[in-house]
Amino acid sequence: MFGKELKMIEPLQDLLLNWKVHPSSIETMESHPNVYKVRSREKTFYLKKRLNSSVDKRIEELLLTSFLLEKGITVERPLLTVSQQPYVRQHLVFYSLYQALEGLPVQVYSLASLKMVGNYLSQLHDRLRNYVCKNEVKEWEIETHMREWIGGQDSTLIERLSAGFLGRLNGWSFSYSKLPHQLVHSDCHPRNILIKEERVTGLIDFERIRKAPRITDVCYFLAGMLKDQVLQGEGGQVECIHAFMGGYQSDGTLTQEEKELMPFLVIIFLLQYTFFYDQKGYSQVVSTYIPFINRLVNSGDYERAFQL
């Protein structure tokens, strides 16, 4: 096993010379097999292997993250190689290197930290609204993805989750489509937000930028938070949502229509997580998610948490 690992690491050492980085250690991230943690002298870097990417995407990432840094939003930006490119390309695979930002991914959900995260995302969306992409950016097709997940599940699971909810998908889709679309992060889960001492220190991984209503980022984060809490057996979900919303709406940007659609969108993302775990055969996780989702759907307190 060690020999196999060594064979994989040795080419990466040569690859890192494109950034003049001489690693003292390289390790594969357990939960992200295409990400390598690199230590060199007293610095830490992350080398990310990008599959199904393109030159345009890699250039757009550099331009966007540079723009956000100029606007006061701390984000992960690709480092330039000795040839002044934000990537190294080997056949159809792209590699980008990033210096580690301060802080750790959100894992503990205090009310103070959630308020800070909400405010940070509000600032991010304000800056993204004013960014003009050099290349075409795809739409985040939430409804399409949802129907694809539904189509790939057995009827028993769908029946257990459908109770008066999935039938509302068409009505929700019409209202959602009328919201203003802008550039969003689109992978804004808690692990991509860094925090230290209840202060947000940065946002990472701009691989999947897309266009969508800004509440998609907000609801994706909240769904990730709720998913973590239910697996950890924690309560206080309504209070956590309320704290986050207070931070996001500190400048009063959300419309009433957005706030009314958000509880539904969070449930959609939670359902997608449920379908994913069901597909992977994690029946115990699914059996925990289904009653939790049903409680949210039938809870007036849940919907009221989005109204400030």
Average pLDDT of the segment spanning 161-187: 83
CB 25 within 8 A of CB 39: yes
- For residue 50 the two structure tokens come to 């990008």
For residue 109, the 8-state DSSP code is -
For residue 84, the 8-state DSSP code is S
- For residue 167 the two structure tokens come to 């039938």
**101/74 Cα distance (integer angstroms):** 9
pLDDT over 80 at 164, yes or no: no
Q: Using pLDDT thresholds of 50, 70 and 90, give the confidence band for residue 155.
A: confident
Sign of dihedral through CA atoms 216, 217, 222, 228?
positive
59-108 pLDDT tens trace: 999 999 999 999 999 999 999 999 999 999 998 899 999 999 999 999 88
pTM of the model: 0.92
pLDDT over 80 at 159, yes or no: no
- Residue 182: in which H helix or E strand, if any? strand 182-184
pLDDT over 60 at 7, yes or no: no
225-257 pLDDT tens trace: 999 998 877 778 999 999 999 999 987 789 999
What pLDDT was estimated at residue 242? 93
Average pLDDT, whole number, for the chain? 89
Report all structural domains of the chain as residue ranges with CATH numbers, in order of start.
9-100 (3.30.200.20), 105-304 (3.90.1200.10)
Angle at 206 (CA atoms; ends 230, 191), nearest 5 degrees = 25
